[in-house]
Amino acid sequence: MKEKAVTLLNESKTARWIALALISTTMFFAYFFVDVVAPLQSMLETDYKWTPEVFGMLGGSEFFLNVFAFFLIFSGVILDKMGIRFTLITAGLTMVIGAGLKFYALTPGFADTGFAAWLGSFITWVPASAKLAFVGFAIFGIGVEMAGITVSKTIVKWFKGKEMALAMGLEMAVARLGVFAVFRLTPIFAENGGPSNSVLWGLVFLCIGFLLFLTYTFMDAKLDKQMGVSKLTTSPEDEFKLSDLKKIFTNPGFLAISALCVLFYSAIFPFQKFATDMLASKLNVDIKSAAAYVSFFPIGAMILTPFIGYFLDVRGKGATMMIYGAVLLTVSHLIFALVPAESFGVVTAILTIVILGTAFSLVPASMWPSLPKIVEDRYLGSAYGAIFWIQNIGLLAVPILIGWALTASNPGVSEQIAAGVEGVKYNYTVPELIFAGFGVLAFILGFVLKFVDKKNGYGLELPNKKK
Ligand SMILES: N[C@@H](Cc1c[nH]cn1)C(=O)NCC(=O)O
């Protein structure tokens, strides 16, 4: 008897783009929440007595549990052991719980409790609201990174051998749109109810995102059923083993790409946090105008990333793209560092942001689809977890390094600002040179990666799409 051939769900273009739309929209909400209070620094200082140091600590708290309690490594192992559906639901719930705690920290309901009084009784320069917000944001951080690695593995599952880099590029583009949206919407939400209203909206968005993840799991279950994936069909050699972690951390391709990743992102995300003040100082404009220039950065990356992804699918050249990205990263930070303020106008600022935005498209668009070429599918989730863990170490440490470098290279400035002296500004030359230094190291690592690729035949320069 002739067997009826089953057309897999991921062979249907419509089904795989619907799957992508569901998970990407949740990432839009997740990235929105990452920066939900970023434009509200001064409001938090006035309404909640959060100093700039406290505000900076909030940014670091997102990565705290992932780095020090190894949650990102656990998340990768959970993904490989328990599968996409379980991990997506866990990630979605963790984000909602963490965000809920952060919202509660900013409400009068919390401020009036004995718990708040107790939290405020030690390390008194950090208000109780900030302490609880740190805990909430650290829990959210576990969820958002878990979601990130699971979404990457999900895209590989649906798009491998097809439009994989384009799909990853589109997912990142939607996430970048979330960063743009936050800079535009959060101030409006805060005008009508303060920072807690902005966080409440972020929480509502995350609840919608959780429902989208849940909807996706039905598609995932159907695809698994068609593929015949079950505990019975998975042979012991196909299963993830804890010893695979050793394989990941001794894989030369993985090590090279992780080093490139931490260096590159250390000159991107921490820069994003300082960029508004840096441009306001350099251009001598107010914070609102400077923030508007910075918002071109995620938008530029958003527009370019899918095109670069498409190019990688049909033409390849992933490792070379990462080298070009590192060059552009270095050039843009050198412009910020070395062009004197007298010659640095709005046009130069926007052009430099466009160059940086191009780097921010080239590297992520080629880096994330490269990982499945370097490691085996059965431990791909752990590999994404491990690379994000290494990246998170940089994201936690570099803002502290930059803050220290800024203070050390501008003696007396913070004291004058605190004393209300008008017109005093920081000079960002040293921090920008540090960012440029990361770019130079990333450039060197790009060549190491190319060499390792040639030696081990990963195929990083080959197109993703099978002809
Ligand atoms: N670590 C993730 C998610 C993230 C974004 N901001 C802070 N954490 C990541 O880097 N994803 C890849 C990307 O290019 O956004």
What is the per-residue pLDDT for 40? 81
- Please state whether 293 falls in left (phi above 0), alpha (psi between -120 and 50) or beta: alpha
CB burial of 133-168 (b: ≥16 within 10 Å; e: otherwise) equals bbbbbbbbbbbbbbbbbbbbbbbbbbbeebbbbbbb
Protein residue with least CA distance to atom 14, ligand 1: 364
Report CA(83)–ligand 1 centroid distance (Å): 21
Note the Cα 94 to chain centre separation in Å. Answer: 17
- Which atom of ligand 1 is the closest one to the Cα of 388? 1
DSSP code at position 342: G
Nearest-5° angle of CA 58, CA 93, CA 106? 35
Domain ranges of the chain: 12-229+241-456
Residue 241: HSE in the Cβ half-sphere, 13 Å Cα cutoff: 8
Q: Name the residue of 140, 172, 182, 269 to mutate for ligand 1: max ligand atoms within 8 A of Cβ.
A: 269
Query: Which CATH superfamily hosts domain 12-229+241-456?
Result: MFS general substrate transporter like domains (1.20.1250.20)
What is the per-residue pLDDT for 56? 78
Report CA(16)–ligand 1 centroid distance (Å): 23
Contact 131, 179 (CB under 8 A): no
> Which tokens hold the place of 330?
């270095």
Report CA(345)–ligand 1 centroid distance (Å): 30
Instruction: Give, for all 467 residues of the chain, the pLDDT tens digit.
Output: 455 567 889 999 999 999 999 999 999 999 999 989 887 877 888 889 888 778 878 888 999 999 999 999 999 999 999 999 999 999 999 999 999 999 999 999 999 999 999 999 999 999 999 999 999 999 999 999 999 999 999 999 999 989 999 999 999 999 999 988 987 888 889 989 999 999 999 999 999 999 999 999 999 999 999 888 654 445 555 677 888 899 999 999 999 999 999 999 999 998 987 888 889 889 999 877 887 888 888 888 899 999 999 999 999 999 999 999 999 999 999 999 999 999 999 999 999 999 999 999 999 999 999 999 999 988 999 999 999 999 999 999 898 888 889 889 999 887 887 777 888 888 999 999 999 999 999 999 999 999 999 999 999 999 987 76
Contact 365, 171 (CB under 8 A): no
Residue type, 365: A
What is the per-residue pLDDT for 233? 47
Report CA(430)–ligand 1 centroid distance (Å): 25
CA distance 338 to 328: 15
CA distance 213 to 218: 9
> Which tokens hold the place of 420?
């209300």
Ligand 1, residues at Cβ distance < 6 Å: 34, 145, 148, 172, 175, 265, 269, 364, 388, 391
- Listed in sequence order, the DSSP H helices in 192-251 are 194-227, 244-249
Contact 60, 397 (CB under 8 A): no
- Which atom of ligand 1 is the closest one to the Cα of 144? 3
Report CA(231)–ligand 1 centroid distance (Å): 32
Q: Write out the DSSP string of 148-186.
A: HHHHHHHHHHHHTTTTHHHHHHHHHHHHHHHHHHHHHHH
Protein residue with least CA distance to atom 12, ligand 1: 364
Protein residue with least CA distance to atom 11, ligand 1: 148
What is the per-residue pLDDT for 232? 45
Report CA(305)–ligand 1 centroid distance (Å): 14
Report CA(392)–ligand 1 centroid distance (Å): 9
Q: What ipTM was reported for this prediction?
A: 0.95
CA distance 432 to 449: 25
What is the per-residue pLDDT for 272? 83
CA distance 25 to 243: 35
Nearest to 340 by CA among 281, 288, 289, 394: 281
What is the per-residue pLDDT for 230? 52
CA distance 366 to 459: 12
- Which atom of ligand 1 is the closest one to the Cα of 360? 14
Q: Name the residue of 391, 393, 398 to mutate for ligand 1: max ligand atoms within 8 A of Cβ.
A: 391
- Which atom of ligand 1 is the closest one to the Cα of 175? 15
Q: Name the residue of 395, 396, 398 to mutate for ligand 1: max ligand atoms within 8 A of Cβ.
A: 395
Q: Name the residue of 66, 144, 174, 370 to mutate for ligand 1: max ligand atoms within 8 A of Cβ.
A: 144
Within 10 angstroms of residue 172's Cβ, the number of other Cβ atoms is: 26
> Which tokens hold the place of 405?
């470098």
Dmax over CA atoms of the chain, in Å, equals 88
CA distance 166 to 91: 24
How big is the chain by its Cα radius of gyration, in Å?
22
Report CA(171)–ligand 1 centroid distance (Å): 12
Protein residue with least CA distance to atom 4, ligand 1: 145
Q: Write out the DSSP string of 18-67.
A: HHHHHHHHHHHHHHHHHTTTGGGHHHHHHHH---HHHHHHHHHHHHHHHH
DSSP code at position 459: -
Residue 17: HSE in the Cβ half-sphere, 13 Å Cα cutoff: 6
